[in-house]
Structure 1
Amino acid sequence: MKVRKLIILVAAFTLLCGSVAYADTVSQKLRLLINTKSQDADGAIVADNKVYISSQVISDKLQAIVIKDDGKVSVFKPNVHMVTNSGSDIFADVKQGKVKFNTFIQVDSLRPDINALKLTIANPYGEETLLEQRKSGDSDFPDGKNDFWITMKDLSYNFESAGAYTLRFAVKVKGESSFTVISEKTINSK
């Protein structure tokens, strides 16, 4: 009886290990480069001579909105431009210290309906600060619009360290629980 169980157990392990080895030869991980920057190892694979890229990589790295619904995946890449200005001066570089500025954002082709938007800034060490947030129902929220211009409120921010600061504009699609970054702009502090 013990011999029979041992034979069945060995056969099961042989089939399992063989299946894993076969699956490994059928799919192959790729090194994914976006704008010449290497991404994580789980970003793309080749299976049956087709390349598959993670929807999370598409969303994060290409700043696109990815919606998975009813057996389909929809990808939306709105056209977004951000301009920072202090008084009448448009800038991308600042001196270290406190700067009063606002951000003008132009959005074209934003197909999904959104119910919130926000602007954040990350310092050179990656620490992110919320600068402004708006939600559906606010008087200055672009409800139901695919194309809109929006000027964020004037604010003062302390560029205390030298380096690259990253402004991030994110939206929350109706029915989703998290924000998706759809545009970034770099401000260099010297």
Structure 2
Amino acid sequence: MKVRKLALLTLALTLICGGVAYADTVSQKLRVLVVNKKSESYNGIIVDNKVYVPVDLITDKLQGIVITDETDNKVTIYKPNVHMVTSKNKGIFGDVEKGAKVDFFTHIQVDSLKVDINALKLTIVDPYGEETLIESRKAGDSDFPERENIWMSTKEFSYTFSSTGTYTLRFYVKPVGQSSFQVISEKSIASK
């Protein structure tokens, strides 16, 4: 009786360990590098010689627009072409002195926006991660751009660059039918 139980236990352990070893050879974890920098919060996986990465990686790191359609079990990714320029006193800038209070405009140009949006916003993030809204617009506003190619300038915005470091302008859009904003462009301003 003991021999039979021992044989069954040995067989069960062999099957379990063999299954784990097989699963490990079929799928492998993958380090993800974005613009040659390791992504700490995202890992990929290789299954049957195909690479899979999280969709959030595309929105967070590559600033693409991800549209999910659960009825068709489909994910569509769009990457619009976005340019942002900051200007003050009739000139463009990208650096400021620490402590300077700057009145500036942000000029945004977007082309190849292949998805309908119902809101957009521009924020500035200080070197410590605190985000401040510069401007937002929603569908129905008189100044809301409703076309594939967007050319817009924000209202003049006054901001004090109180710390040394990198400040980041983030341009978000909210696609129609989606519940959250997605970053599609960033621009840095250095405070020295």
- 1:93-108 correspondence to structure 2 within 5 Å: 93-96=95-98, 97-108=100-111
Displacement of 1:50: 1.3
Partner of 2:58: 58
3-state SS of the aligned residue for 1:43? strand
Identify if the C-alpha distance between structure 1 residues 187 and 41 changes in structure 2 by more than 3 Å, giving closer, same or farther: closer
Aligned residue pairs: how many? 189
Aligned residue among 110, 118, 121 for 1:118: 121
Q: Residue 42 of structure 2 contacts residue 57 of structure 2 at CA under 8 Å; is this kept in 1?
A: no
In 2, distance between residues paired with 1:101 and 1:161? 18
Displacement of 1:27: 0.9
Residue 100 of structure 2 corresponds to residue 92 of structure 1: no
Displacement of 1:21: 3.5
* Structure 2 unmatched ranges of 5 or more: none
Identify if the C-alpha distance between structure 1 residues 46 and 130 changes in structure 2 by more than 3 Å, giving closer, same or farther: same
In 1, distance between residues paired with 2:126 and 2:80? 25
Displacement of 1:183: 0.2
Residue 15 of structure 2 corresponds to residue 19 of structure 1: no
3-state SS of the aligned residue for 2:40? coil
Displacement of 1:56: 0.8
In 1, distance between residues paired with 2:17 and 2:41? 23
Letter in 2 for 1:116: A
In 2, distance between residues paired with 1:61 and 1:157? 26
Identify if the C-alpha distance between structure 1 residues 5 and 65 changes in structure 2 by more than 3 Å, giving closer, same or farther: farther
Q: Residue 29 of structure 1 contacts residue 41 of structure 1 at CA under 8 Å; is this kept in 2?
A: no
Residue 109 of structure 2 corresponds to residue 109 of structure 1: no
In 2, distance between residues paired with 1:189 and 1:165? 7
Measured on the aligned residues, the alpha-carbon RMSD in Å equals 2.3
Partner of 2:130: 127
Q: What percent of counterpart residues are identical?
A: 61
Aligned residue among 66, 83, 100 for 1:81: 83
Displacement of 1:15: 4.7
Displacement of 1:57: 0.4
Identify if the C-alpha distance between structure 1 residues 85 and 6 changes in structure 2 by more than 3 Å, giving closer, same or farther: farther
Displacement of 1:40: 2.8
Q: Residue 32 of structure 1 contacts residue 41 of structure 1 at CA under 8 Å; is this kept in 2?
A: no
In 2, distance between residues paired with 1:187 and 1:5? 71
